[in-house]
Structure 1
């Protein structure tokens, strides 16, 4: 439909932009539903918390479990042994050796035992502790003599006799027995002999000399008349050693005799050829 104007008036159809509108939903009906759901969730949560709390109290209050022994015996003999014969089960000596059995006392034995215990507790008849009467004579000779001594006046006491002391004869001095000094053993040393006695081996000649001096000081009876021999020996990879030897001896028997004496004195040695 076209527009037309008349008298500056617009007679076109009226078109209003707000002619149509949507009807909005009413939110007032959902409020109680949300509140009910919130209350339900709170109730469920509270129920869960309460149930958990009650279970914790019940578990903690139970305490330590106690183990009660069975009233029935752990082992017992079967009534039916199924034909198995156990020998010597009817012997009476098993009962005789059992310490659990005790002889039964009769009434008369019990009465005698009680009377004996009463006598021990009473301690026997009472003892008279009152002082003796005047005029009673003591029965013991020693008591009578003591009474006579006390009744004796002081002027009648027998004077003591003084006996002069005699000087004791001097004891003879004990004789000291001196041990006989054993003579130094004589060994068959020989100049230019073929046998020597080796005492030790040292890394240096000074150590060998010092050892020989110490041996002469401690055991002069062995080494006083011996001749010292220090031999240098080069053993290659093992090094150089200085052998301390004494001698010499004409035969091996004389050298062995001297070596045995050295061993008896506490040292060590070997017989070698010079």
Structure 2
């Protein structure tokens, strides 16, 4: 019994020693691999760019004996199969384009020379003599003295014409400022800002008239005084719009040009 137990203890101790040796060798191999990886990483040149070399030979090569089955009657030969004509094209089968047609001399219409036409017109306008006197042909006395004449030479201006100047009739301009009592309830307007004084509001209006004449044309100024939080404000508003649609469109144009604007109603 004792001998058997001692043999078992010896076998277990032997296996333990072998396992320890194997574990030590594995640990040593791991340490060596880690050391080599660290050394390679530290000595590697990070600025090195890998170069991919193109393939020197052809990518694909046609085999000497491709093999396979060659299908007949491909391409245009299908038409010859249907028509029952031979696949070989002869000279009789080739149809060339016809030669250019030459018109008969009787059918040729020659365009007149523009210079000759002008000479004929001058000769007709100058009369039978064909001499250029520098004076336009006299009009018919019975006709209108101011009617144009059939001549290529311009006629002198009549001396009995009287000069007359006309002045444009200007409509009276509407007043720039409008009183709040003259604005009926429900009138659509646009508000262009609220200021601390009436003078600042007027200066703002004059600036808008100079910078945006197309948007301020035909509009009247209305300054509404309000007290909010113990502070007096002067609201600058423009009057002269037909409805809510025009006020919204006007505010959209003002905002697009960097000016604050909101549609309001009286």
Q: Is the pair's TM-score, using the shorter chain for normalization, greater than 0.5?
A: no
TM-score for both structures, normalised by structure 1:
0.32
Larger Rg: 1
